[in-house]
């Protein structure tokens, strides 16, 4: 346990520090003045000192100079705590020997970070001091061990990332111009550790390394880059075709299973590759290109590979910017809901609305959902944004119900991640209690893929939702995995025909037959069927001909704000 000495004439300041650091596992000591602290250093044996600058009798600057002049304590890091943050004051602190400073009033996260940093540095200096105290005969042995740790992976005995970069540097400076990097990452390796344990995982890594070594040619290097990541440095690559041929051979090598600890394990990898003829390129840049290509390959699925293309850097940068913007958008409540009317096709009367998420960007105005929804799905931001959307939709439904529109339904989409969220039911119960809506008029739309990810869980969850009188609709029906085997067990109220079928519907074509089948299935199961994406009068006529009961689309209205909904649809003559 690290020992921290706080020197401050005001005990209240110590109480603040104790509160901030109390849960970090440190042993805190307090001295009310510099002389007491210096006299009791042997008793406190501090690993770090937090020293107030402004103290009577002996200032923090003087205390710092005194301690740094003592050989046995001069290596202990001192963080000056000061309300004076001018350049002159800070210069005096550093001139006195201080290692760092922190300004008052103290910020908890900053204090924890600076204390950790200084303690880490102190431990490093202690380690160096320990090495220096070793017998001179052991220096060469220790140096060799350090060299091995840096340049060789301890588990597989393969070269390390550092070795690979050094080798790349040597090749570049020697004028070598034709080489490639192939960056490999195992698919879902964490499942092996989770299922079989880390010992089996380590054995699998060794087996993978041994299999990969079969593809080494003289002069090539195979390095282990991380837990389940490897990288080939390949000499004498003359073309992308030659590089792709090697990658194909490596990926095919993973078609055979691995037998580890009497377990048969199948493992695939994704590969990203780049090659260069430009000796002016930096080694780190080449490695970054291969890593970027590997990331793109993983987005395409297991066992994929990708050659680096220069626009990938821009794509990654744009993705990071988008993720940051979305985090900011959630914080600043930039997400809003638009509403699209749902119409009874036979009577052309309004029956409800679908709430659709929009992003009111401060500079770009409304951002199309296709630009940001996939990113939110990938990052998991869809869960808090989805909860916010559901809350906002129920608040709007409550307003309309209070205005007397008790028969209108409001459909809200649940993403796959949101549907699998353990707190979903509790969140919904809270929203229902808060908004006091009639839950029978709320319809939650889930996709087939969300159901098929865990069908039994989906059935149980749907039953819980129905027990609250909430309606359930399967969105984009027919586009995902087949849910027919579970459809009769799901307490579903309606099916939504995906717009891709509606947009291409023509008499007697394939989409026409699919739509006809879905409508017939809904009729047999006593489920309402809603067609989305209706844009033309001809599409409407075909759907009415097939006896589709409900629909929505640009033919009736685009999604519009709640204020326009009230002006256009919710007025009483």
Q: Where are the beta strands (DSSP E) in 318-416?
A: 335-344, 349-361, 365-367, 409-413
Determine the Cα–Cα distance for residues 118 and 124; give it in Å rounded to an integer.
10
Q: What angle do CA 545, 549, 552 make, to 5 degrees?
A: 100
| Residue 339 CA to its chain's centroid (Å) | 30
Determine the Cα–Cα distance for residues 50 and 3; give it in Å rounded to an integer.
11
Give residue 354's region: left, alpha or beta (phi > 0; psi -120 to 50): beta
Pinpoint the alpha helices (H) of 77-160: 87-95, 108-133, 139-151
Q: What is the pLDDT of residue 480?
A: 57
Give the list of residues 6+ apart from residue 12 with CB closer than 8 angstroms, or none: none
Q: What is the pLDDT of residue 310?
A: 79
Residue 80, token pair as written in the block: 């000056």
Please say whether the beta carbons of 515 and 505 come within 8 A: yes
Determine the Cα–Cα distance for residues 516 and 545; give it in Å rounded to an integer.
10
| Per-residue pLDDT of the chain in tens (573 residues, 90 and over written 9) | 889 999 999 999 899 999 999 888 899 999 999 999 999 999 989 999 999 999 988 999 999 999 999 988 988 999 999 887 778 888 888 998 999 989 888 899 999 999 999 999 888 887 877 777 776 656 566 665 666 677 889 899 999 998 998 888 888 777 666 788 999 999 988 888 888 888 999 999 999 999 999 999 888 999 999 889 999 999 878 788 888 999 999 999 999 999 888 888 899 999 999 887 665 567 888 888 899 899 889 888 889 999 988 777 777 777 788 888 889 988 998 999 999 999 999 999 999 999 999 999 888 888 888 888 888 888 889 999 999 999 999 999 999 999 999 999 999 999 888 888 899 999 999 999 999 999 999 999 998 878 777 788 888 898 999 999 999 999 888 765 555 667 778 889 999 998 888 888 876 678 788 888 889 988 988 999 999 999 999 999 999 999 999 999 999 999 999 999 999 988 865
Q: What is the pLDDT of residue 52?
A: 92
Backbone angles phi, psi at 307, to 5 degrees: -85, 145
Transcribe 77-94 into DSSP letters. Answer: -EEEEES--SHHHHHHHH
Give residue 191's region: left, alpha or beta (phi > 0; psi -120 to 50): alpha
Q: How many CB atoms lie within 10 A of CB 319?
A: 14
Determine the Cα–Cα distance for residues 116 and 110; give it in Å rounded to an integer.
10
Determine the Cα–Cα distance for residues 105 and 564; give it in Å rounded to an integer.
49
């Amino acid at each position: 346990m690290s020992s921290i000495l706080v020197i401050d004439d005001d005990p209240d300041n110590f109480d603040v520090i104790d509160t901030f650091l109390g849960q970090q596992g440190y042993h805190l000591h307090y001295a009310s003045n510099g002389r007491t602290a210096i006299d009791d250093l042997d008793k406190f044996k501090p690993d770090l000192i937090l020293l107030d600058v402004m103290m009577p009798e002996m200032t923090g600057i003087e205390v710092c100079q005194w301690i740094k002049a003592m050989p046995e304590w001069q290596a202990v890091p001192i963080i000056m705590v000061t309300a004076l943050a001018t350049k002159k004051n800070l210069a005096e602190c550093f001139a006195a020997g201080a290692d760092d400073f922190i300004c008052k009033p103290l910020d908890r996260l900053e204090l924890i970070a600076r204390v950790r940093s200084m303690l880490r540095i102190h431990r490093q200096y202690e380690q160096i001091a320990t090495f220096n105290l070793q017998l001179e005969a052991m220096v060469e042995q220790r140096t060799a061990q350090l060299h091995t740790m840096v340049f060789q992976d301890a588990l597989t005995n393969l070269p390390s990332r550092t070795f690979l970069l050094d080798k790349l540097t040597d090749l570049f400076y020697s004028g070598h111009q034709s080489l490639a990097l192939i960056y490999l990452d195992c698919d879902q390796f964490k499942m092996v550790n989770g299922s079989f344990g880390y010992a089996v995982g380590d054995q699998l890594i060794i087996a993978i390394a041994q299999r990969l070594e079969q593809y080494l040619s003289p002069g090539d290097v195979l390095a282990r880059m991380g837990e389940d990541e490897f990288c080939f440095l390949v000499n004498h690559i003359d073309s992308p075709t030659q590089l792709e041929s090697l990658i194909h051979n490596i990926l095919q090598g993973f078609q055979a299973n691995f037998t580890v600890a009497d377990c048969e394990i199948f493992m695939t990898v994704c590969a990203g590759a780049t090659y260069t003829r430009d000796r002016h390129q930096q080694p780190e840049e080449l490695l970054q290109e291969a890593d970027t290509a590997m990331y793109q390959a993983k987005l395409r699925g297991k066992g994929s590979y990708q050659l680096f293309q220069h626009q990938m850097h821009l794509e990654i940068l744009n993705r990071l910017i988008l993720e940051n913007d979305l985090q900011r958008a959630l914080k600043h409540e930039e997400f809003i809901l638009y509403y699209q009317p749902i119409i009874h096709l036979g009577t052309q009367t309004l029956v409800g609305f679908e709430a659709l998420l929009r992003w009111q960007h401060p500079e770009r105005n409304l951002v199309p959902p296709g630009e940001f929804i996939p990113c939110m799905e990938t990052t998991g931001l869809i869960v808090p944004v989805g909860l916010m959307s559901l809350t906002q939709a129920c608040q709007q439904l409550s307003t309309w119900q209070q205005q007397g529109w008790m028969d209108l339904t409001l459909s809200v989409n649940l993403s796959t991640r949101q549907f699998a969220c353990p707190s979903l039911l509790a969140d919904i119960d809270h929203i229902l209690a808060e908004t006091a809506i009639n839950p029978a008029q709320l319809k939650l739309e889930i996709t087939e893929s969300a159901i098929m990810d865990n069908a039994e869980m989906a059935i149980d969850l749907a039953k819980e939702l129905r027990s609250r009188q909430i309606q359930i609709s399967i969105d984009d029906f027919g586009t995902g995995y087949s849910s027919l085997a579970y459809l009769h067990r799901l307490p579903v109220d309606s099916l939504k025909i995906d717009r891709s079928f509606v947009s291409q519907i023509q008499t007697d074509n394939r989409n026409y037959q699919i739509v006809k089948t879905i409508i017939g299935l809904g009729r047999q199961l006593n489920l309402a069927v809603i067609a989305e994406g209706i844009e033309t009068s001809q599409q409407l006529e075909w759907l009415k001909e097939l006896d589709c009961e409900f629909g929505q689309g640009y033919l009736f209205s685009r999604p519009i704000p709640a204020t326009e909904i009230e002006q256009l649809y919710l007025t009483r003559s």
